Structure 1
């Protein structure tokens, strides 16, 4: 069974704890999960990398078992949490890997602290302004309402879901509500970050400044982060390489660990 560790530190005079797990030895690689995720998503991929590398998988601020302060979340706060974490572990010159939201944070971290990052691997990275996202998740907003009425309605729907063979969909909705209620970071992003004018910390205007080995991986069938987002990272970062996994969806670490490992290992050996 996966054993997580916790460390505590002060950040802007506030105490936080960071939950993480690690495996392997050698060159350190820090992994940042995606939206509504947690560090366990990297288990399958790490099993392929740990014979060669020290893999450190972090629950980001507001997610998993790390601190969940009731604040307005933004990318800068997530970056500073990662910075305090790696300083507490006394690791430097590490490879930074991020998936989806984690890719956005990883790119922003490399911009803020380029001396820390030896190489960058971005898996279906978010962080490129895209006004088409606005309204896409409005249907999830009722799941954020802090009232037992929502749970009562979802419970009433169970017989109908069974009759129509929609149990999996209903269970997914119930899981999303539970996770949104338990994780303030996703709540904050859904409530505060969906208007075009809120896209103030996307990185497409700054990533041209990155001068480090960069690998971008995306899925051919990704319906969450459009391909052009990954193409933007690749075109703006000098000498970045883009690899598209055929028939893959957005869940790259969870479902395509073998393919990711085959792509990443040659890149890591060269970096």
Structure 2
């Protein structure tokens, strides 16, 4: 039987934020992946919102609790949250996250995040370490890799989408000649344009603004415990991102079955890893 989900919306300084809540107990905040929204986490919330072992105290505020109070917001510019015409950045998303958690009067939380959400979560933990008990990160963005990334996406949906213009010109001929790659790339462009905030943050801003928010040199400054989860069949980019974040001082890496879609394919395994990790942290605080 699925747990009841509470859908909530709150007006903040830059617009309204929409989120889903499941369960009661210790607060876990889930930040969605790059091309996703908070709905991505619903299978995992069903596992973690159910009753857990009593006596866990992360954060250590109450003597007893059951399960977890799970929050899965749509980040500003995504999903059902407002999409104001603003210059989107990691700093903006961190500011909105801080205002939202302040409004909820949440105690220090555990942030569970994937992709772009991981970049935001780690940046929040660096800025407000006293407000974070731990990070659970899956393929977190925000650090460089050896291979150049986002070149195709920039040419399709960047400030000067030259590839998209060319593809639109040859699309009628491509259909006649049976060139499916043209239709595939135009479909990907449409998908990208549905997430303008993600495009702005990842590749549509000036390079110096992106570089200023990257965390390559700051991962070692993280003061909170970090759990990294990676699929055993993950691609080389995911492995590289994970490897960089593994330099965090209090980091543990767990390899799970699956590839680059762990949240959808391995929700039960992820929930089990998070429970075990939180129980271990809890035992260290006693």
> Normalised by the size of structure 2, how large is the TM-score?
0.78
- The 1:9–1:244 alpha-carbon spacing in structure 2 relative to 1, beyond 3 Å, is same
Match of 1:9 among 5, 8, 12: 12
Say whether 1:257 aligns with 2:272: no
* Larger Rg over CA atoms: 2
Match of 1:137 among 135, 146, 151: 151
1:120-159: CA deviations, max 9, x gaps? 111111111225234x43256335659x989977985997
Say whether 1:211 aligns with 2:223: yes
CA RMSD of aligned residues (A): 3.1
1:51-90 to 2 correspondences below 5 Å: 51=50, 52-90=67-105
CA distance in 2, matches of 1:154, 1:267: 53
1:179-258 to 2 correspondences below 5 Å: 179-188=191-200, 189-192=202-205, 195=207, 198-223=210-235, 225-235=237-247, 237-246=248-257, 248-258=258-268
1:33-77: CA deviations, max 9, x gaps? 111210000011111100110000011121111121222222111
Match of 2:122 among 78, 97, 107: 107
1:226 aligned counterpart, secondary structure:
helix
CA distance in 1, matches of 2:209, 2:106: 36
Contact 1:24 1:53 (C-alpha < 8 Å) held by counterparts: yes
Contact 2:157 2:199 (C-alpha < 8 Å) held by counterparts: no
Contact 1:143 1:150 (C-alpha < 8 Å) held by counterparts: no
Contact 2:119 2:141 (C-alpha < 8 Å) held by counterparts: yes
Match of 1:128 among 126, 129, 143: 143
2:246 aligned counterpart, secondary structure:
helix
Q: Which moved more, 1:204-213 or 1:27-36?
A: 204-213
1:77-134: CA deviations, max 9, x gaps? 1111111111111112111111011111111100000111011111111111225234
CA distance in 2, matches of 1:244, 1:171: 32
Say whether 1:269 aligns with 2:272: no
Contact 1:131 1:196 (C-alpha < 8 Å) held by counterparts: no
CA distance in 2, matches of 1:242, 1:89: 31
Name 2:17's counterpart in structure 1: 18
1:268 aligned counterpart, secondary structure:
helix
- The 1:198–1:209 alpha-carbon spacing in structure 2 relative to 1, beyond 3 Å, is closer
